[in-house]
Amino acid sequence: MHRAPLWAWMLGLVAAPALADELLLARRLEAPAFLDGGAALQPRQALAAGSLVETGSSGRVSLQAAGGGTLLLGGDGRLRFTGGEPPDPPGRAALLRLQLEAGAVHVDARKPDGGAPGDMRLAQRHLQSRLYGAEAWAETSAAGDELCLLAGAAEVQTPAGHERLDEPGECLRWTARGGQRLGVAEVGSLAPRLARTRFADDYAARYAAEQAQRDGSARPSLAEQAGATLVVSEVEATAVPAARPAPPPATAPAVRGPTRGGEWRIVLASLPDAASAQRATRQWRARGYAADMVLMRADGKPVYRVLAGHHATRDAAQRSLAKVRRDPPAQQAWIVRVPAGG
């Protein structure tokens, strides 16, 4: 009378370890991609608890969870599979615990047709998220953590307490200075972020990202915002080019020159020192402006200006300025001509 339950129990003991060994599989990859800092990762390779998946700048790895759910790790990524629990039909797919040490990952734990929703627990430097039947994009960088909701809801534990993301398109950012919650309008299109966690042959994702960049609906991610302050041409509109300053320290942004022939740009802020200008640039970028920092000269003295827009003519810049001034913090903005670098 008790034989069937006993055998079912015994089979469960035998089957569970084998299933646990395949909670997470490499489904597809683009090199370079490595496992545990050693040999190249192989398609259909199972990940053991504690395994670390790493990608080079052009690498991509798609991972499949047992019972449903996928992850796609972008370039220069480090994702550790810390452990999990096998599926428990019909309630859910596998429960996975993951740690994003660096880079960006697209997590899709939505319920597949005829399946159960996945249960992904994603740890970042500051944020601890539960994505149950949800879809999200996350990035961890030197600047901090960012989590953007794509579908469903995300329960997030932060250093300051519990947060919940409910609206697709909103993001939560956390840095050493604290948290910032961004609404859909502030975040803009997520297409450029998603393109970074897609394979090279995903032309639809690439096209969507390019369109978002062209129509101005794209906004920088936290990592891009922190690393995109640019020191460009050091000239005043009516002055001769000044001597190029000494190279910035290793932690400073890269150097970029202005458009050949010069251009008209909108001045959002003018500050006496680089540190203040960099902070202002980050603040303007958080408001959705494609701003960068320019070292110029005024009355023979260096001045750091936060600029936006690139216009070939003064009239075009004036039209853009009229729109920018509708934003209260930008009511004092003006335009300036930035000659090409000598």
CATH number at residue 102: 2.60.120.1440
Tell me, yes or no, whether 223 lies in a domain. no
Cα–Cα distance between 204 and 148 in angstroms, integer? Answer: 20
* pLDDT value of position 124: 97
Q: What is the pLDDT of residues 103-118, one digit of tens each?
A: 999 999 998 776 778 8
> Shortest CA distance to 93 belongs to which of 61, 121, 55, 128?
121
- Record the tokens describing residue 32, joined without a space: 């370079």
Tell me, yes or no, whether 1 lies in a domain. no
Task: Using the CB atoms, write b or e for 253-267: b if 16+ within 10 Å.
Answer: beeeebbeebbbbbb
Mark whether 72 and 199 lie in a shared domain.
Answer: yes
Task: Decide which of 178 and 233 is more confident.
Answer: 178
Mark whether 111 and 236 lie in a shared domain.
Answer: no
* pLDDT value of position 237: 32
> Shortest CA distance to 237 belongs to which of 110, 126, 336?
336
Mark whether 208 and 233 lie in a shared domain.
Answer: no
Mark whether 72 and 171 lie in a shared domain.
Answer: yes
User: In the listed set 187, 212, 237, which residue is the last one of a domain according to the structure?
Assistant: 212
Mark whether 198 and 310 lie in a shared domain.
Answer: no
CB 115 within 8 A of CB 67: yes
User: In the listed set 177, 212, 247, which residue is the last one of a domain according to the structure?
Assistant: 212
Domain that includes residue 168, residue range: 14-212
* pLDDT value of position 59: 93
**Taking the alpha carbons of 144, 122, 78, 60 in that order, is the dihedral positive or negative?**
negative
Mark whether 88 and 159 lie in a shared domain.
Answer: yes
User: In the listed set 159, 183, 212, which residue is the last one of a domain according to the structure?
Assistant: 212
Mark whether 200 and 248 lie in a shared domain.
Answer: no
Say whether 58 sits in a helix, a strand or coil: coil
Q: What is the dihedral of CA 226, 227, 228, 231, to 10 degrees?
A: 110
How large is the average pLDDT for residues 273-301? 82
Mark whether 324 and 283 lie in a shared domain.
Answer: yes
Whether the predicted model's global pTM rises above the 0.85 cut: no
Residues 6+ apart with CB under 8 A from 153: 134, 164, 165, 166
- 112 CB burial (10 A radius; 0-12, 13-18, 19+): middle
Tell me, yes or no, whether 121 lies in a domain. yes
Cα–Cα distance between 317 and 304 in angstroms, integer? Answer: 20
Mark whether 243 and 197 lie in a shared domain.
Answer: no
φ, ψ for residue 276 (rounded to 5)? -65, -40
How large is the average pLDDT for residues 178-201? 92
- How many structural domains does the chain have? 2
Strand 171-175 relative to strand 144-151: parallel, antiparallel, unpaired?
Answer: antiparallel
Cα–Cα distance between 327 and 251 in angstroms, integer? Answer: 32
Q: What is the pLDDT of residues 11-68, one digit of tens each?
A: 333 333 333 458 999 999 999 999 987 889 999 999 999 999 999 989 999 999 988 8
